[in-house]
Amino acid sequence: MASAREGDGMWERYSRQVILPQIGSDGQEKLSESRVVIIGCGALGSVVANTLARAGVGRIVIIDRDFVELNNLQRQVLFTETDVGRPKAIAACEQLERINSAIEVEPVVKDVNQTNIESMIQGADLVLDGTDNFHTRLVMNDACVKHGIPWIYAAAIGTSGLVMPILPDGPCLRCLFPNPPPAGTLPTCDTAGVLSTAPLIVAGWESTEAIKLLLGKPGEPRLVTIDVWDRTLSTLEVEKAAGCVCCGKRKFEFLSAEKEEIISTLCGRNAVQITPATPGQISLSRLAAVLAPLGDVEQNEYILVFRTQGYEISVFGDGRAIIKGTDDPKLARSLYARYIGV
């Protein structure tokens, strides 16, 4: 990968950024040598990935478990209609390569959980939140605090959103939210909707905080709340909580779960995700041939979609599956066992 100082083309690409006193040529060099991991490539993650790629961040890893759906296109800026049905991480990285061929991008089509997150963030200078659920954020918080990696918490829903940098010396997410909210108590994009400009503004703020941290600027433990419809912005100074389980006592509860099959209901989608205890590569073409007599099958190199009896089962190459048409984990597990295997 070429240095930010090398070649007139490279200099021209970032010229409007390099002349900023906050960045300069030395700062651009730092960005080109940085590695970020973006977990989740939906409304927030796609904007952050787009922004940082254009800014010249040298290595970007995008991790996402899902595939592009038509309703994503209203707000997820890296995708087009031709991407519908493809894994988000793959489609996003292909688009980023077209945007900036001078950087390295790596797609990872996996569900981030306690069994794999520590290896996924290894070597990262910064981890960025593009997720759609609070449990994954708590797993991220545990892993980043444990390994001393800064990360940025971000969320957007309706017309508003939140952003907070979380630094290795605290405070951490559990200082702000000591106990995870009960399932079903938080709104989702599917239940509350989202104005397309809200994640753009929130992700823009998150991207700015990311650039500042990558440049070595000191972060501030402030929770920023933005409402684009009401035109309001507020900040809350967050202090390190005395006796915080995570950054204080260093008990990483969300990393300590047993490495077993993970079954999770996807809020607001009438769907259940099943992640095998021991993921392994499966032949999607062979599975397609087996399932073809039993229902409708669509398959490409990344994903197989099988429809039968009112259910839609999307199977990924590592054996992970999303079963649409039910929010009952037991029924989803039964369908998985029936059509994919134990």
Q: What is the mean pLDDT of residues 97-101?
A: 97
Nearest to 46, CA basis, from 90, 85, 81, 103: 90
What is the predicted pLDDT for the residue at 87?
92
Contact 215, 223 (CB under 8 A): no
What is the predicted pLDDT for the residue at 188?
65
Is residue 189 among the annotated active site residues?
yes
Residue 189 has pLDDT above 80, yes or no: no
**Marked catalytic residue, from 172, 175, 189, 246:** 189
Nearest to 92, CA basis, from 156, 47, 56: 47
**Superfamily of the domain at 262-339:** TATA-Binding Protein (3.30.310.10)
What is the predicted pLDDT for the residue at 167?
96
Residue 76 has pLDDT above 90, yes or no: yes
Residue 270 has pLDDT above 90, yes or no: no
Mean pLDDT for the chain overall:
89
Selected from 3.30.1150.10, 3.40.50.720, 1.10.3470.10, 3.30.230.10, the CATH number assigned to the domain covering 34-254 reads: 3.40.50.720
Which residue in the block uniquely carries the two structure tokens 């397609």? 288
Residue 4 has pLDDT above 60, yes or no: no
Give the DSSP H/E element, type plus range, for residue 151.
strand 151-157
Q: What is the mean pLDDT of residues 35-49?
A: 97
What is the predicted pLDDT for the residue at 62?
98
Q: What is the mean pLDDT of residues 25-33?
A: 96
- Ranges in the chain annotated CATH 3.40.50.720: 34-254
